[in-house]
Structure 1
Amino acid sequence: MIERIPIALTGYQDTAATPGADVDTAAWRIISSPADCEAADEAIIPCTTSHPDVARKLLTECQPSDLLRVTGHLTLPGTADGGIRLDVDTVEILWEAPLQEQPPNRPTDDHTDRDRAIQALAEALTGLPCTTTAGEQPDVRINIGPIGLHGLDVTNCHNIDITTTHTHQLTNAVAAMHATLNSSPPHTGTSLGPLSPADIPGFFDDLDLTELTGGIDANRPEKKGATAPRASHDLLGNSPVAGADDSDR
């Protein structure tokens, strides 16, 4: 029968955690260094966890050389040639190691725009106006960070904890955004852009009012008398003279 011994250890993370064979599991190694022990007395202990929160923490927040405090059960081998394993229930980061430096003479890419986008998305999710049921605690974590990089980029990694209610509201908001985008007609051809307040005076200055009115300037005093009857005749045709009766027509 395999013996499981409750244990708590403090030690440095030896290797980066890797996802386990099952979902929400992780595996890594810890260097157990009791106080005042010699280097030869240090032990490297394989660790695993099947707790989703602990696995996510190891995979996203911890790095080699971090000082960890772990609790769990030490599983002793059933045979002499077997290996021990620490099944971890909780993990606490006591000290974070400095970020690993990039190798020298390595060309660096400019990720400024990507980093700004990550920061803006994290701030938008953090400030999302949502309603919360009284007493409801966050139980969903959203991890946002860059991918495809060598080494860790903790500065641009964000963890946003939200409630189940917030998750449903965020899902509905994204679905509404997709519906709005899909219902918008495709943009084709050339259209006039909106005018700014500074552009409006110049727009009217460029208009040729004489050309728009067909050469008629009815606002001049000397033309009002001639223009008005002619315009009325063009609009109504021959109209009866004021005061005339039917016999005069």
Structure 2
Amino acid sequence: MDAIPLALDGYLTADPVPDDHDDILCWRLSCSASTDHLAEEAIIPCTTMEPEIVHALLTERQPGDLLRVTGHLTLPETAGGILQLHVESLEVLWEAPLLDAEENEDGEDSGDTAAVTDAAADRNSALAALAEALTSLGHQATPGPGQSIRIHLSPAETLGTDLEHCHSIDLTPARAHQLADAVDALNCRLDDDRTDDDVVLDPQTIADLTDLFDGIDLLDLTNAVLNTTRPENRPQVTRAMDDMFGDVPAPEDTDP
């Protein structure tokens, strides 16, 4: 059977291993069907003989990296055969960060295990909820151009065995614009909900405001206001300025 040209996005599930032949490298990709259901995820065996790809996978890549591979898919000739993607090019879409685990002298983690477990559970729940919402948004697409924008969601640390918490969602450009508008609206609402205690000015803004108010001469300001005020209105204006600035010169003390 002829090989089928194919391009796949998927997470590297484990360290690649050489085949019986030293010039062949084997690894597996976990590929999502753009939904939140594990049953619709597939593990695809991959091989390559390209020296640049072999070198990159053995020296630069790690489990959890999101890769885009292109090549030819070979279907098994028998029911017990092996499906394989023979990779000819590789692109790194996202690199899983390395974690430096802090251990004590006994080799045990020094952090609070319960706290870490609760944080991971909260994170995974949030990822699942966000993936479900985005998947629903993608499924509501109206007839028109096909989906051409892909969003990848995953934990921020090294993925390891947490690949079930990784999601890929495809959206149309129109849906992506709607999502961006919704995020902008959410940001505006969150800004409106902030109290004065939440507002933090940068040091340069504070310095500029200080210079501005330090440069105001209240006596000159008072004289300028009262000199443009009709005489019969000066007592009321003086009292108003007293409430704002404190002791303000009486009308008779200002320039005529």
**TM-score, length-normalised on structure 2?**
0.39
Higher RCO by CA contacts (8 Å cutoff, separation 6 or greater): 2
Structure having the higher helix fraction is 2
Which of 1 and 2 has greater Rg? 1
**TM-score, length-normalised on structure 1?**
0.40
